[in-house]
């Protein structure tokens, strides 16, 4: 019995193997470098290394005096003369790197290297001379800063084009890690277009496994020609040491921001006036396009409102460039100067629509990118009565119905609905009462988009 089973098993495996065709690679040839020659990238990084400087920033910080120390009885009791109670200053020091980009001494670094500094000093490789630098401009949104040292014949790095980069390209990170002096580390480009990292407001990072350590911030990421492709910015780590996940700001973004800082001392970003979010799998079933940024809310008196954008519109292109997600749209709009027109292509009710929008200046107090989606069932709703508004502090200008209860383990509970959510719109229907919800649920067939206001933030869910 066992013998028969063994033979059958061999036979079935043999038959199965005959149906599988693996793609076999041809035999590779192992080779050694030419005899007597040493493989080296010294020539590739030689010039770039001379363009990467050490930056030392000093910031004076006043230490606050505990309130109890100001009490005369307290000072007398502990024999503490008043002079000892004067505010004291301490010096915060930070080390980083920077890249010389012009022969007359403009240096690009990270904003966090020089942020709030009272003094900035620069040392050039191969020289003991210390230059006092002037802060030309900083941009916290991209973590880019420009400083200036006086001179006319500095080595300036050559700029590349980060749009042509490919995953797997050989790269070198040049900087001043831990303040030990000039250092070069090798790696590859691990990924491109990394966003939602949570480091900056505008993110489009180059990810690399080239070692980026403390002090490398603001240094150069160069390709195998020694051409600048990015500014090293941050690492992803739990211990503080390098774990092979480093991020650099692409040189094309660096050039755009640096030019505005040099010419105007600040960076102005285009502003559309929408709250946006990514498409999740449930929302993809509603739209014909499977990528883009969905509009959750349109603010009053904004370019988006004037151009006719509405909640539920799926923005898929800006000036003909495909938009893959919300972060992509944010970067595309932010890269356009205020006052300039852009063509926006969006999907509405299954059809593509083109509009022209004149962007406004980005307000300093606004930054929106929100989203929360799911499937809803098992909700208890109530109209927004004056009593409920008064109890919960809901402004009179917010209309809708409030979620008073979410049944445990219901579809709504699993989807993330919460008591206190205010349903404000279902598809194209504005909601003012529970009756409006019932009518809207009957009016629209299939899956429906439900917009809610959760503590002042507009979110979207899918029902049906």
Q: Could you say which of 143, 278, 313, 328 is catalytic? A: 143
The whole-angstrom separation of Cα 279 and Cα 294 is 7
Contact 209, 140 (CB under 8 A): no
Residue-by-residue DSSP string for 424-451: EEETTEE--SHHHHHHHHHHS-SSEEEE
Widest distance between CA atoms in the chain:
101
Q: In what order do the strands lie in the sheet with 52-63?
A: 130-132, 119-123, 52-63, 88-100, 106-110, 144-148, 134-139
The whole-angstrom separation of Cα 268 and Cα 360 is 10
Is 112 part of the annotated catalytic residue set? yes
The label of the residue with tokens 């240096």 reads 107
Q: Could you say which of 56, 183, 185, 217 is catalytic? A: 217
End-to-end CA distance of the chain: 56
289 SS3 class: coil
Is 162 part of the annotated catalytic residue set? no
Residue-by-residue DSSP string for 242-275: --S-EEEEEHHHHHHHHHHHHHHSS---EE--EE
Contact 338, 305 (CB under 8 A): no
The whole-angstrom separation of Cα 207 and Cα 201 is 17
The whole-angstrom separation of Cα 345 and Cα 314 is 8
Q: What angle do CA 140, 142, 148 make, to 5 degrees?
A: 70
Q: Could you say which of 112, 209, 233, 421 is catalytic? A: 112
The whole-angstrom separation of Cα 139 and Cα 112 is 10
Q: Smallest Cα–Cα separation from 385: which of 404, 368, 371?
A: 404
Is 436 part of the annotated catalytic residue set? no
Q: For residue 302, what is the DSSP state?
A: S
Q: Which residues are catalytic?
A: 112, 143, 217
């Amino acid at each position: 019995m066992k013998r028969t089973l063994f033979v059958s098993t061999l036979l079935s495996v043999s038959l199965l193997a005959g149906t599988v065709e693996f793609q076999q690679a041809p035999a590779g040839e192992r080779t050694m470098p030419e005899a007597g020659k040493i493989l080296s990238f010294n020539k590739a990084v030689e010039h770039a290394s001379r363009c990467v400087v050490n930056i030392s920033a000093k910031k004076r910080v006043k230490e606050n005096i505990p309130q109890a120390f100001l009490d005369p009885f307290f000072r007398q009791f502990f024999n503490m003369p008043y002079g000892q109670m004067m505010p004291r200053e301490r010096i915060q020091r930070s080390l980083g790197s920077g890249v010389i980009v012009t022969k007359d001494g403009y240096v690009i670094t990270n904003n966090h290297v020089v942020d709030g500094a009272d003094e900035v000093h620069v040392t050039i490789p191969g020289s003991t001379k210390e230059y006092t630098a002037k802060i030309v401009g900083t941009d916290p949104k991209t973590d880019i800063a420009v400083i200036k040292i006086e001179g006319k014949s500095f080595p300036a790095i050559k700029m590349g084009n980060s749009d042509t980069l490919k995953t797997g390209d050989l790269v070198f990170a040049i900087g001043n890690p831990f303040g030990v002096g000039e250092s070069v580390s090798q790696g590859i480009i691990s990924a491109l277009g990394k966003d939602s990292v949570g480091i900056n407001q505008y993110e489009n990072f180059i990810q690399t496994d080239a070692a980026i350590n403390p002090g490398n911030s603001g240094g150069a990421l160069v390709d195998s020609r020694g051409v600048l492709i990015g500014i090293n910015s941050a690492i992803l780590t739990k211990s503080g040491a390098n774990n092979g996940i480093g991020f650099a700001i692409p040189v094309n973004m660096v050039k755009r921001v640096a030019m505005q800082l040099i010419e105007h001392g600040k960076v102005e970003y285009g502003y559309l006036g929408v709250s946006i979010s990514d498409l999740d799998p449930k929302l993809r079933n509603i739209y014909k396009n499977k990528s883009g940024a969905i509009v959750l809310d349109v603010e009053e008196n904004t370019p988006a409102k004037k151009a006719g954008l509405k909640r539920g519109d799926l923005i898929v292109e800006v000036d003909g460039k495909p938009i893959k997600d919300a972060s992509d749209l944010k970067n595309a709009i932010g890269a356009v100067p205020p006052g300039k027109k852009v063509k926006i292509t969006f999907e509405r009710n299954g059809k593509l629509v083109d509009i022209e929008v004149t962007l406004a200046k980005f307000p300093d107090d606004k930054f929106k990118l929100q989203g929360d989606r799911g499937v809803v069932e098992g909700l208890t709703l109530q109209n927004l009565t004056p009593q409920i508004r008064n109890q919960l502090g809901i402004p009179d200008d917010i209309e809708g119905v409030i979620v008073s209860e979410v049944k445990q383990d219901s579809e709504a509970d699993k989807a993330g609905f919460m008591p206190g959510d205010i349903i404000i719109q279902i598809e194209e229907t504005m909601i003012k009462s529970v009756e409006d919800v019932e009518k809207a649920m009957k009016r629209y067939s299939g899956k429906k988009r439900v917009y809610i206001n959760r503590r002042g933030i507009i979110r979207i869910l899918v029902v049906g």
